Amino acid sequence: MQPVRIAGVGSTAFGVHTERAGRDLFAEAAQTAIADSGVPRADIDHLCYGNFVGPVAEQQGHHGPLMAKAAGVTAPATRYESACASGGVALAGAIDMLRAGTADVVLVGGMERLTNLDTETATKGLAMAADDLYESRAGVTFPGAYALMARAYFEEFGGTREELAAVAVKNHAHALDNENAQFQQAIDVDDVLEAPRVADPLGLYDACPITDGASASVLVSDDYADQHGIDSAVSVTGSGQGTDTLALQGRESLTRTPATERAAADAYDEAGITADSVDLLEVHDCFTIAEVLALEGLGLYEPGTAIAAAADGETTREGELPVNLSGGLKAKGHPVGATGVGQVVELTKLLRGDHVNSDAVSDASVALAHNAGGTVASAVVHVLEVSA
């Protein structure tokens, strides 16, 4: 498939922005991305925008025209919703438009504003990503659901609580110098193990925070880039999307994520690569166990082996396969609708050499973004490569 060029990227800092409206956050991210791209606003053919709980958090639906106005564009605008994978799905939609030739320039982004809600309301809003009839009404929250997945993993494959804690320690270490990260503070394994237990075996430091923020990217076709002299260092060469049963009870296994497997297979096929080609990646680590499952679902580790990857140093900044150099959802933060695009923002900067952690991957040429919704009932995978 024809590559799609990433002309520009932008993001707000992720964290607590209680005093700012969602449209203000997205305006900042979009303005940064457009300025970074050098593309005139008038050339933008469409806005693809990801958001999940806006109708709950801000009592605001109909986000498309609202965010187009915030970004200063008059192009048609569409909101994409796929729970925590909303940003990734918006990105996939933008790529489809460019490859189909129905657009030459697409502004793609996402935003979520959650810290203005109390914990109970935020939890209730996020729970809409689960099966209301069979999970939410029975009292299953996402910490509980991922705890079930973690327990199933330990029972099937083994592994230790210390190995799982190493995932959180690693991602906090990666976020230390990332000015856009919500938590720029180091933790150790003891911090993770001694933190209040949320849902056994997961504790407070195994979970990502509630976050506000926005991210955006300007994507352009190869032809547009060539005709307008757009200097794009990074391209999207593969894109895939997968779906699984919404409720955990309907799945054959709690230790596999078929939605990720299907999305990855399609993305690899489009890009003409295998999992072995990947140099670095951003994965959806809403909980520490989610990073483990993602690495196995993406084909980077055999089932039952990714649990030790962080503890063994393989996925650290200095390791052979750096994972979540941004800090991941765990430390950078998880503004739900923005997360999938935010991953691509981070990877683009890492590949083109202007990220604070770029020196760790100076020879990298292939990166992968993995964005998931719910308990991975939805998954989107994108392959990014240094432009030829």
Cα 169 to Cα 161: distance, rounded to the nearest angstrom: 13
Cα 8 to Cα 350: distance, rounded to the nearest angstrom: 13
Burial of 78 (0-12, 13-18, 19+ CB in 10 A): middle
Q: Are 155 and 253 in contact (CB under 8 A)?
A: no
- Going by DSSP bridges, is the β-strand pair 4-11/234-243 parallel, antiparallel, or unpaired? antiparallel
Who's near 142: CB < 8 A, 6+ residues apart?
126, 127, 129, 130, 286, 287, 374, 375
DSSP structure class, residue 250 = G
With CA atoms as reference, report the closest residue to 233 among 1, 2, 8.
Answer: 8
Burial of 111 (0-12, 13-18, 19+ CB in 10 A): buried
Tokens of 15: 């964290």
Backbone angles phi, psi at 366, to 5 degrees: -130, 125
The one catalytic residue in 63, 174, 334, 370 is 334
Amino acid at position 155, single letter: E
Let me know if 355 is a catalytic residue: no
| Helix-, strand-, coil-residue percentages of the chain, each rounded to 5 | 45, 20, 40
Tokens of 218: 């300007």
Q: Are 159 and 264 in contact (CB under 8 A)?
A: no
Cα 173 to Cα 189: distance, rounded to the nearest angstrom: 12
Q: Are 220 and 95 in contact (CB under 8 A)?
A: no
- Going by DSSP bridges, is the β-strand pair 378-386/366-373 parallel, antiparallel, or unpaired? antiparallel
3 state DSSP class of 102:
coil
The one catalytic residue in 17, 46, 48, 84 is 84
Count CA within 13 A, CB hemisphere, residue 2: 17
Three state DSSP letters for 49-61: EECCCHHHHCCCC
Residues tagged active-site: 84, 334
